[in-house]
Amino acid sequence: EDQVTQSPEALRLQEGESSSLNCSYTVSGLRGLFWYRQDPGKGPEFLFTLYSAGEEKEKERLKATLTKKESFLHITAPKPEDSATYLCAVQAMTTDSWGKLQFGAGTQVVVTP
Amino acid sequence: DSGVTQTPKHLITATGQRVTLRCSPRSGDLSVYWYQQSLDQGLQFLIQYYNGEERAKGNILERFSAQQFPDLHSELNLSSLELGDSALYFCASSRRGTGDMYEQYFGPGTRLTVT
């Protein structure tokens, strides 16, 4: 069974204090790994898709990387507006899963001024 | 704003009742997905439609059903509601979804409260 595990569950950072979030996955053939940001009571906001090991993508203070077993989301010099829950999801290659995303439980990030 | 719209935003109903949640995908998107998010379960995939046809099913209860109409909007029907069905229900859409990797864009969600 496909599994996605995110760590830590929660992270409290000072403004400017860089850190990394981890997403470990087991899937029967990875088609893609996705990162989303979710604010309380709102829909997940798409951030990145990673397709193959070694791939990296950046957007403002966020950088996502992928290996064969895990992905990291690096937050560089975070600001209070980066406070959110960050969700990782995988899409498997099996034909019966089609576009289904399997989500992790998320990492809740709080950035204080 | 993702371009995906969902109505209503909030729904309060009693146990045993039936409700319908509506989703309009982004312009040009053919695939629609439904997810349920509760505090103890996280985001769970329910069902996917592509251009009017069901393509994948997740842990969707038999009391729940969905359809996608010719104009590509989708409805999720929840019947014989139980307290445990209280959750946020999200719709997402993507350009395709037939095994290809196209990003899913989520709507703002419908918060269902069953009393």
> What does the pLDDT look like over A61-92, one tens digit per residue?
999 999 999 999 999 999 999 999 999 999 88
Least confident stretch, A64-73, B65-74, B91-100? B91-100
Contact B48 A106 (CB under 8 A): no
For A98, nearest residue in chain B (alpha carbons): B99
Of the candidates B104, B97, B57, B94, which has an alpha carbon nearest to the alpha carbon of residue B76? Answer: B57
How many other C-beta atoms are found inside a 10 Å radius of the C-beta of residue B82? 12
Tens digits of per-residue pLDDT, B14-48?
999 999 999 999 998 999 999 999 987 889 999 99
**Burial letters for B59-78: b for 16+ Cβ neighbours within 10 Å, e otherwise?**
ebeeebebebeeebebbbeb
Identify the pLDDT of residue A96. Answer: 65
Nearest CA in chain B to A34: B103
Among B1, B8, B11, residue whose Cα is nearest residue B87? B11
pLDDT at A43: 97
**Residues of B in Cβ contact (< 8 Å) with A45:** 2, 106
Instruction: Kindly identify which residue of chain A lies nearest to residue B32, measuring between CA atoms.
Output: A99
Q: Is A40 on the interface with B (CB under 8 A)?
A: no
Checking if the pLDDT of A94 tops 90, the result is: no
Cβ separation of A43 and B2 shorter than 8 Å? yes
Contacts of A91 in chain B (CB under 8 A): 101
